[in-house]
Amino acid sequence: MKLSEKMEKALNEQVNKEFYSSYLYLSMSAYCESLNYSGFANWLKKQAQEELEHAMKLYEYIFERRGRAVLEAIDKPPSEWKDLVDVFENVLKHEEEVTKSIYKLMDLAKEEKDYATESMLKWFVDEQVEEEASAEDILQKLKMAEGNKNALFALDRALAQR
Share of the chain above pLDDT 90, in %: 98
pLDDT at 70: 97
The DSSP 8-state label assigned to residue 1 in this structure reads -
Cα–Cα distance for residue pair 119/144, rounded to 1 Å: 39
Closest by Cα among 92, 109, 97 to 58: 109
Cβ-based neighbour number of residue 135 at 10 Å: 20
Task: Quote the pTM value.
Answer: 0.96
Give 27-82 pLDDT, tens digit per residue: 999 999 999 999 999 999 999 999 999 999 999 999 999 999 999 999 999 999 99
Q: Please give the single-letter amino acid code of residue 45.
A: K
Share of the chain above pLDDT 70, in %: 100
